[in-house]
Structures are given as structure tokens and as C-alpha cells.
Amino acid sequence: MEVRLDLSWRLVLPVIIGIMLLLSSCDGGKKENEAIKKKCDTCRTVTKGFKEGMERTARSMYEGGDADWEEKKLGSYATSEMRFIEVTESLCESKEHDCHNLLEKEEELLEQWWKEHLETPDLFQWFCIDNYKVCCPENTYGPDCEECPYGVERPCKGAGKCMGAGTRGGSGKCKCNAGYKGDLCDICKDGYYQVMKNETHTTCKACHKACTALCTGGGPKGCKKCKVGWLWDDETGCQDVDECVVEAKPPCDIDEFCENTQGSHKCVACHGACDSCLGEGKDKCVKCKKGYEMKEDGCGDTDECEQENICEEEHMECHNVPGSHYCDCEDGYDRVGNECVDKALFQANNETDQASEESSENLESTTVEEGEVGASSGDQQAVLTDGAKTDEKETNFDNSEFREDLPKEKDDEILKAGQEIPNPSDDSENMPTPQSLREEL
Ligand SMILES: *[C@@H]1O[C@H](CO)[C@@H](O)[C@H](O)[C@H]1NC(C)=O
Ligand SMILES: *[C@@H]1O[C@H](CO)[C@@H](O)[C@H](O)[C@H]1NC(C)=O
């Protein structure tokens, strides 16, 4: 066992380590590219802000005043250190860490542009691409700003994105749009068909949903093969199979109805009142469940309490519940066997019964003391009260007839009540029965 564990670890560990290394290297490359992109984005923001700052300071220079003096002053201010500071001061929004960072690091480079290349209009090109070297011209990528596949005009033949384009990072590979593949994104992926293709352009469209991955054209007729749940028809191509009308074997259970869907079907449970049905709702029942009957608006609850011979014992009440009914004793009555007995009477008898039980014990002991040998069970019975002389049948609490239709909770209730009553099989002779109680009182 240990050897096997050892072996498997020796096999698995290198694999795990390999996967982790691979992941981390992929992740590293991705992170690096993201960092490069972020640098370029920040640089773009900075140069854009610089341009805006220049426009702002230019306006303020022209505001009113002596034109002659202004022009002299302007000439010097336009290229002055003072204006440069004014522009750079408000360049970054207060919390832009990357922006402040870049300014701090590359302020000299910016100043160089300010002093020597103010005439070069494109600060972004000069600063971010040519000198700070974090960005590339559009649709070029990587450290040397190589052209993206299929050129800078329409990289990836217009059907994908060139990875890392515009930055000094990225692989330059095409990430194709949905439905396209290939180095130049000019091949249709599985599940798509070619609508047109020439030297420069490829158009792919998704196959119809009835097709397996391959199709030669649009619609259900374009399928090379139909998916499961669809059947080929020479006229119309792949057609949905209505599983619900296939007669050989009903696709759903008896208490469910079938709903056809495109390429498949659903089995939906019938309404609770139905035994079987053709659709949703109680009005779609074919047959009602036990305890329900067909009414005007479909299967409805049968009120068993309105029937004859239901809970007809004295002081017994009938309760109708959906799909069923149960019998219960009126207030103040307790159930004993199949009958309802006045609580007060039952209580009283319970006490007297206990008393008689005690006295019977006394009697028994006296008879033994008197030395009467062989006190038979018959003798014993003689000392018991009349009421206790009972028919076996009467004391046999068979509630099964009642329990049958009872909801769960009610059943439990009865069982509980049953527990309070002495077990007839153990002590049947001492059991009070409703009949005996009544007789006694
Ligand atoms: C290729 O197709 C596109 C789109 O239909 C069209 O604009 C272009 O002129 C075509 N090129 C050639 C070389 O036929
Ligand atoms: C009968 O007496 C016993 C013992 O005192 C008691 O536990 C039980 O609840 C009584 N039964 C009824 C129905 O009052």
C-alpha cells in the first residue's frame, strides 16, 4: 500500500509542478503584457493632459490687455519654464498614482521635448512611442513595433484583434472574432459556414441549431448531419421530431404530460388532482386522483363528509381535506377504540379503575393468605368489577379502518392517544371499554 502511494506520488508530483510552472509562466507573460499596456495607457493620458494644459494656458495668455506688450511677453511665456510648470502641475488628477509616477520619472524627457521639440506637434508619438518607448503606432506590437498580421490597415483581415497592438508588448497573434479561426482569421470555425470569401474578406455565419457542428449553408437545409431530436427531410432539411406524438413508447410518466421543444421534449408534472393529464392545470386531467372527482372546471376535491356512512359514530366529526378526509371526536370527547368517549367520564373511570386494580391486588393477597390453593384465573376475574369483564373483541383497538384515510399528523395524534391507553394484549382484563364505562356510570 505504502509502496503504491509512494509510486503514485512520484508520478503525480512532477506533473503538478509542471502544470504550476506552466501556469505561472503563462500568467507571468500575461501580467507583463498588462503592465506594458498600462504604462502605455498612462503615457497616453499624460500627453493628452499636456495638450489640454497647453490649450488652457494659451487662452489665458490672450485674455485682454495691451496687445503689443502681450505679444512680447507671449513670445517668452509661450516657451517659458513657467508655462511648462503650469501645464505639468495640473496634469494628473490628485490620486492618479501611475500618472504622478510617470511625471516624476520622465519629467526630464518631457522638458526636453518642451525645449527642443515644441514644434513637433505630436507629443504622443515623440514621447510615448519614440522616446519613452512604451507605446507603438496603431496595429503594431512588441518591443520593435512590428506590424500586426495582414498589415496595419486591416490586421487579422478585419475578423480579429491583434494581441498587444499599440503597445510595446503582446504576441501580435490574432485573436479571432466568434466563428473565425486561423492565423489571419479567414477560416470558418466548426459550427459556422462560409457565406463568402475573397482575397481580403471572409464572412462566416453560425449553422442552424438543428445541425451537428458541420454545415454547408444556412437554415436547417444547410446541415451536413442533424442533431439528435431532429430528422432529415429532403424538402426542408433537419426537422424537429415531436417526441410527444411518437406512439411506440410514451416518453413521459403517467402522471406527467409531454411538451415538445425544438430538438427535444419536456415532461411536466400533472396538476395534483390529476391521475393522468394532457396538459397543465386541473382542467386538463384525463383521470382524477383518488379523493378527487371530475367537476365543471376539472378535477376537484371530493367532499367525503357529505357521503353516507362517514364518521357516523356518536360524537364523531368528519373533516374534509384535499383528496381525503378524517374522523375526529367532538370537543370534550376522546377517542377510545372506534368510539368517542366523554373526557370527564373516561378520566373518572381511569381513577376508579386504578383503585379497583389496587383492591384486586389486596383481595388476591388475602386469598393466598387464607391458603386457598389454586386461585384460578376464573377466581381472579370474579373479584374484578363488572366493567372489566370484557369481550376480547371490544378491547382490541383496531384503528386501521380509521387510519387509512388520515393525513399524517392526524395519524400521529391517534397513535399518541393510543399510547395512553393500556395495551389490550398485556392487560386486557383490566381494560375499560367505552361500553363498560357507560354501564358502570
Ligand atoms: C472582397 O469582398 C469584399 C466584401 O464583399 C469587397 O468589398 C471587396 O471588394 C472584395 N475584394 C475583391 C478583391 O474582390
Ligand atoms: C389514566 O391514569 C394514568 C395514571 O394516572 C394517566 O397517566 C393517564 O393519563 C390517565 N388516562 C386518561 C385518559 O386520563
pLDDT value, residue 351: 72
How far, in Å, from the CA of 163 to the mean position of ligand 1? Answer: 25
Q: Which residues line ligand 2 (CB under 6 A)?
A: 346-347, 350, 420
Q: Which residues line ligand 1 (CB under 6 A)?
A: 198-201
Q: Which amino acid does the sequence have at 206?
A: A
CA dihedral 117, 119, 120, 123 (to 10 degrees): 80
pLDDT value, residue 71: 56
Which residue reads 424538402 in cell numbers? 235
For residue 346, give the ligand nearest its CA.
2
For residue 439, pLDDT over 80 is answered with no
For residue 416, pLDDT over 70 is answered with no
Between residues 117 and 227, the one the model is more confident about: 227
How far apart (Å, rounded) are the C-alpha atoms in residues 314 and 379?
A: 36
Averaged pLDDT for residues 72-76: 65
> Residue 38's beta-bridge partner residues?
none
Residue of 198, 202, 203, 204 to mutate, ligand 1, most atoms within 8 A of C-beta = 198
pLDDT value, residue 394: 38
Measuring from atom 8 of ligand 2, which residue has the nearest CA?
420
pLDDT value, residue 249: 78
The C-alpha cell that represents 236 in the structure block: 426542408
- Summarised one tens digit per residue, pLDDT across range 168-224 is 999 999 999 999 999 999 999 999 999 999 999 999 999 999 999 899 999 999 999
Measuring from atom 7 of ligand 2, which residue has the nearest CA?
420
Question: pLDDT above 70 covers what percent of the chain?
Answer: 70
Averaged pLDDT for residues 118-122: 84
DSSP 3-state assignment of 106? helix
For residue 143, pLDDT over 50 is answered with yes
pLDDT value, residue 357: 60
Q: Which of 221, 155, 222 is nearest to 193 (CA)?
A: 222
How far, in Å, from the CA of 420 to the mean position of ligand 2? Answer: 7
Distances (CA, A) of 3 to 6, 14, 340, 393: 5, 18, 75, 72
Measuring from atom 3 of ligand 1, which residue has the nearest CA?
201
How far, in Å, from the CA of 158 to the mean position of ligand 1? Answer: 12
Cβ atoms of 60 and 70 closer than 8 Å: no
Confidence of residue 339 (pLDDT cuts 50, 70, 90): confident
Measuring from atom 2 of ligand 2, which residue has the nearest CA?
350
- H/E run at residue 33: helix 2-62
Averaged pLDDT for residues 410-424: 41
